[in-house]
Amino acid sequence: MNKKLEQRFLEEVDLLQGGNAYLRSVKNVSDIIAQESFSKEELITLLQAEGQERALLFDAAHARKIEFVGKQVYFRGLVEFSNICSKDCLYCGIRKSNEKVIRYEASDEEILGACRFAWENRFGSVVLQSGELSSPAFTERVDRLLKAIKQLSNEELGITLSCGEQSRETYQRWFESGAHRYLLRIESSTPDLYNQIHPQNVHHSFEKRLECLQLLKDCGYQVGTGVMIGLPFQTMEHLAADLLFLKKLDVDMVGMGPYIEHEDTPLYVFRDQLKTKQERFDLALKMIAALRLLMPDINIAAATALQAIDPAGREKALKIGANVIMPNLTPCDFRKEYQLYEDKPCLDEDAELCRNCLEARVEMAGGEIGYGEWGDSRRFVNRRQGSSH
The residues of the shown chain that bind ligand 5AD, judged by CB under 6 A, are: 91-92, 185, 187, 228, 259-260, 262, 305, 340-341
Q: Is the dihedral of CA 297, 298, 303, 309 positive or negative?
A: negative
85 binds, among ligand 5AD, ligand FES, none (CB under 5 to 8 A by kind): ligand FES
Q: Please report, in angstroms and rounded to a whole number, the separation of the first and last CA atoms in the chain.
A: 76
Residue 258: strand, helix, or coil: strand
Q: Which stretch binds ligand FES (CB under 6 A): 2-10, 62-70, 84-92, 188-196?
A: 84-92
Min CB(37)–ligand 5AD separation in Å: 26
Q: Which one of ligand 5AD, ligand FES, none is in contact with 319 (Cβ closer than 5 to 8 A by kind)?
A: none
Nearer to ligand FES, 94 or 308 (CB): 94
| CA neighbor of 61 nearest in space, from 29, 90, 85, 84 | 29
> From CA 220, how far away is CA 261, in angstroms rounded?
35
- Compare residues 89 and 324 and give the one whose CB is closer to ligand FES: 89
Stretch of 81-89, 109-117, 234-242, 359-367 contacting ligand FES, by CB under 6 A: 81-89
In the window 105-144, what residues touch ligand FES (CB under 6 A)? none
Sign of CA dihedral 13, 19, 20, 21: positive
Q: Which does 87 bind (CB under 5 to 8 A by kind): ligand 5AD, ligand FES, none?
A: ligand FES
CB of 184 to ligand FES, least distance (A): 10
Tell me whether residue 178 or residue 258 sits nearer to ligand 5AD (CB atom): 258
Interacting partner of 262 out of ligand 5AD, ligand FES, none (Cβ under 5 to 8 A depending on kind): ligand 5AD
Instruction: Choose from ligand FES, ligand 5AD, none: what does 94 bind? Cβ within 5-8 Å by kind.
Output: ligand FES
Nearer to ligand 5AD, 30 or 196 (CB): 196
Measured from the CB atom, the residue of 94 and 365 that comes closer to ligand FES is 94
- Give the closest residue to 340 by CA, choosing from 25, 10, 80, 1: 80
> Which residue, among 114, 153, 123, has the nearest Cα to 351 in the 3D structure?
114
| Footprint of ligand FES on 88-107 (CB under 6 A) | 89, 92, 94-95
* CA dist., res. 28 & res. 52, Å (int): 12
DSSP string, 98-146: -TTSPP-B--HHHHHHHHHHHHHTT--EEEEEE-----HHHHHHHHHHH
- Regarding 362 and contact with ligand FES (CB under 6 A), the answer is no
SS3 call for 221: coil
CB-nearer residue toward ligand 5AD: 287 or 340: 340
CB of 340 vs ligand 5AD, minimal distance in Å: 4
Helix (H, G, I), strand (E, B) or coil at 14: helix
Q: Residue 320's binding partner, choosing from ligand 5AD, ligand FES, none, with beta-carbon cut-off 5 to 8 A by kind?
A: none
Minimum Å gap between C-beta 302 and ligand 5AD is 14
CA–CA separation, 62 vs 47, rounded Å? 16
Helix, strand, or coil (residue 339): coil
How far is the C-alpha of 204 from the C-alpha of 288, rounded, in Å?
A: 26
- Minimum CB separation of residue 303 from ligand 5AD in Å reads 8
CA distance linking residue 300 with residue 66, whole number of Å: 13
3-state SS of 259-272 is CCCCCCCHHHHHHH
Judged by beta carbon distances under 5 to 8 A according to partner kind, the member of ligand 5AD, ligand FES, none in contact with residue 369 is: none
* CA distance linking residue 50 with residue 56, whole number of Å: 10
Cβ(264)–Cβ(218) below 8 Å: no
Residue 379: name its binding partner from ligand FES, ligand 5AD, none (Cβ under 5 to 8 Å by kind): none
262 or 314: whose CB is closer to ligand 5AD? 262
Q: Is 85 in the site for ligand FES (CB under 6 A)?
A: yes
The whole-angstrom separation of Cα 174 and Cα 345 is: 30
Residue choice 54, 76, 87, 173 for contact with ligand FES (CB under 6 A)? 87
**Cα–Cα distance, 303 to 321 (Å, whole number):** 12
Using CB under 6 A as the criterion, which residues of the chain lie in contact with ligand FES when the complex forms? Answer: 85, 87, 89, 92, 94-95
